[in-house]
A and B are shown apart, each in its own frame.
Chain A
Amino acid sequence: MDKLKAIFPVVTDNYTLCDMPASEIEEDEFNAMVEFTETANIVVPIQNMIVNRTEDILRDKIVPQFWSFFKKNDFSRTGFQKFYNAVKYLHDSYTSFYHIYDRLLLFRKRTNLKKPIYEHTCPHSALRLILRAILFSYYYLEHDNIIKEFYEAALKMEDSEGDHHCIILEDNMDCNCLHSFNETNRKLGEMHLLEPLVGQDLTDVIYNYTHSHIQKICKDSFDTNYIWTLEKWLKNVVLNWLGKIYCHDTSPGDDPMLMFNNKLTNFLYNSYTKIRIDQLFNIIIEYPESLPALSDLRDALPKTDLKPLLTETLQKAMETRLLHPGVSTPDILTAYVAAIRSLKVLDSTGLLLETVTQPVHQYLRSREDTVRCVVSSLTEEGPNDLAYELVNGEAVRIDENTPTDDDDENWECWIPDPIDSAPSKSCAIRKTSDIISMLVNVYGSKELFVNEYRTLLADRLLSQYNCDTEKEIMYLELLKLRFGESQLHYCEVMLKDIANSKRINQYIKQDAEYRESDIPLNAMIVSAQFWPPFKEEKLELHNEVTEQIKKYTEAFETLKGSRTLCWKNHLGVVDIEIELAGRTTSYSVTPVQATVAMYFQDKGTWELEELSKVMQCPPTILRRKIGFWQSHGIIAETSSDVFSIQEDQENKDVNVQEDIFVEDYEAESAMASARDQREEELHTFWSYIVGMLMNLDTLPLERIHQMLKMFAFQGPTIECSIQELKVFLDRKVREHHLIYSNGYYKLPK
């Protein structure tokens, strides 16, 4: 029995690890023990006893001791050291057992014992099974953090560039922490504990580390492709490091590296895609500089299942960043155009684009100035580059029956096509390839579009006599390709009018009968039927000008039999030069402003009322026009409603000929816009609304709309959608004519 205790010291009651046999047992001693157990017929009980004792010792001593290394209140050591020590302790104990189990193996061979231990015929496998089982029956909660700390420190060190400077024990330059790290992993591998004990924590560490690495790299930088770099990093740094850990793993089963490779590559794509999805709005805004980020995202997206997230997130971002009153319509359009261009990169079917931009369409429709902004960006150079699109884009004829999405109010019910709908089919239906078509379809009516274009063109032509008609003709030709000849015929006549006017001016000036006084006159002669209606304003010009105009009209009547001219006195451009107190300055002004100056030349001081009568211009408007000359120091309001020329200029530079060309063409349309007309119509509702609110105190939008429908919308043209009404009411709120709170409108007290 003593021999038995010597060979298998584990069976003694007070066995400690230090009792581990120091040297090999003599061969004959072992043989004697085998013989003894066989005769006594206690071979199986001996094995049972060894196993039982192993379990006891592990449970009572070693495992609790192992977990105690993780104790939170031990601040003297770093997580790295704690884990290193814990594994070292466990492995030392395991090694002691391992030697004993070597003997058990031999014992089983000699006694020809076949009875397995926990279904293992290999005693060492059984030992590891027992260790694992007991280890995890005492789960110590704090250990996760310490294990993570251990691996995180090592991964950071691996990823740091250049010198493998120790970051675990920073003060110690020749610390062999890397060695300790490898040693720990080797020990865990030997005990087959690598995956069970650290697998999950290690995965977490790597995920977190990878995620923050991607985040750091991709932060606000959209102009570089990263996917390939990241994949390389994952392979060279992370997987390579993992390989150094798992090369110690000797446990049977699937190759953990293969599993990690798949898992981490997936994670990389997911992580990258998520980060880019969060940034997508900014990426779109920065198009085309952000093309690399977009192409990365396009490649990564199919490897994930994040498409729905992308759609949802982007839609939300568009709503919070774009679709509110604080953003100007041109800015919304710029973003919208950028979105169209970017999303085409992401998804060529146009499905994504359609889904994401749906709310933008709806919102743009509720803005009054959308069409005007689209049209002006189409024919002017600006941040949208829509002019570029018009010139270089593939012309897609916008047909009257192009299916638009505005024919119903309940677009909320709109169901997106199934994701798997054949792309070719979607392409045929959608005209998303053409930005201009999309923009026109935002409004749903090409008529409205063309009308707005006509108004803009009219303004441009009238405010700049020498405007670049060749460019305008080119735009017109391009627009004709899209909108059709008939729609734009009016504009063609307008451009022709300008060309004809130039010819007529030249002709009349050469006419011997025609005498030009001090006022060189040119006329823009328009075919009124083809131009948008002009704003009507009364103005009596200075008689010098009136005289000249009369002469011009006579010359015209002679030139074109049976035809005459109706002058719009308030429209046009006047180049004027004013000499005052030795200073000469040039201005480009409106006829009203020029007339004011001419009257002040005749008489240095005017009462507002008096001049208003002479010029037939309402005093309020006239005051504003005089304001222009006030701002240039020509005229001053010397006493209330009395204006005088400022002869006594403080300027000392006498006799200086200055040629400041002051462009003051008020950015005001000469046309009565559709908006103005609509405004007037809506104002007829205002008294109804005030009446309602006086009687009923507070009302929600829908109710106001309903009541207007009942009482106010009587003429066939006077209809107003609920969105339009909202825009109108919201403006009243801004003007403090209404109060809006909790969805209810009321009158201010």
Chain B
Amino acid sequence: MKVRIKNWTGVASWRWIANDDNCGICRMAFDGCCPDCKLPGDDCPLVWGQCSHCFHMHCIVKWLQSQTVNQQCPMCRQEWKFNNK
């Protein structure tokens, strides 16, 4: 018997490689999107800080804008620096 696969359409769900499931700021799932967005993934990306915490990009940007004095990570209170890995 010879079997030939002409086409295999599989199903997969995508997810962010992050050490948590939810955004520490908005509490929404990373694989979902921030409260201001409608579409997940490319449209509502994640960003990592050098402290290794990560958030929805829109969430951390909003957070940082609200912080007038120090730009701190809302989780560990270290100074926030984007980690462009």
Contacts and interface: CB of A to CB of B under 8 A. Distances in A.
B35 interface: no
The interface size bin for chain A is 35 or more
A48 B45 CA distance: 124
B41 A523 contact: no
B6 A524 contact: no
B5 A575 contact: yes
Contact of A462 (B4, B11, B39, B42): B11
Contacts of B66: none
B16 to A, nearest CB: 6
A647 B1 contact: yes
Given A528-B13, A528-B31, A568-B12, A562 B46 contact: yes
B5 A523 contact: no
- Chain B interface size band reads 20 to 34
B15 interface: yes
Nearest to B32: A529
A556 B16 CA distance: 12
Contacts of B8: 519-522, 545, 548, 572, 574-575, 591, 594
Interface string B1-44: 11111111111111111100000000001011000001111100
B10 A522 contact: yes
Contacts of B17: 562-564
A597 B8 CA distance: 14
Contacts of A575: 5-8
Tell me if B's interface is mostly helix, strand, loop or mixed: strand
A526 B11 contact: yes
A604 B48 CA distance: 52
A553 B16 CA distance: 13
Interface stretch (A117-125, A435-443, A447-455, A576-584): A576-584
Contacts of A529: 29, 31-32, 40
A520 B18 CA distance: 30
Given A527-B31, A529-B40, A563-B41, A518 B5 contact: yes
A225 interface: no
A568 B40 contact: no
Interface in B28-78: 29, 31-32, 38-42, 46, 48
B39 A579 contact: no
Contacts of A600: 1, 3
A560 interface: yes
Nearest to A577: B4
A571 B9 CA distance: 9
A524 B3 CA distance: 23
Contacts of B31: 527-529
A597 B4 CA distance: 10
Given A563-B17, A586-B6, A523 B12 contact: yes
Contact of B5 (A496, A567, A574, A647): A574
A582 B41 CA distance: 49
Contacts of A597: 1, 3
B9 A524 contact: yes
Interface of B: 1-18, 29, 31-32, 38-42, 46, 48
Top 7 A-B pairs, shortest CB-CB distance:
A571-B11, A528-B13, A565-B12, A579-B2, A529-B32, A575-B6, A577-B4
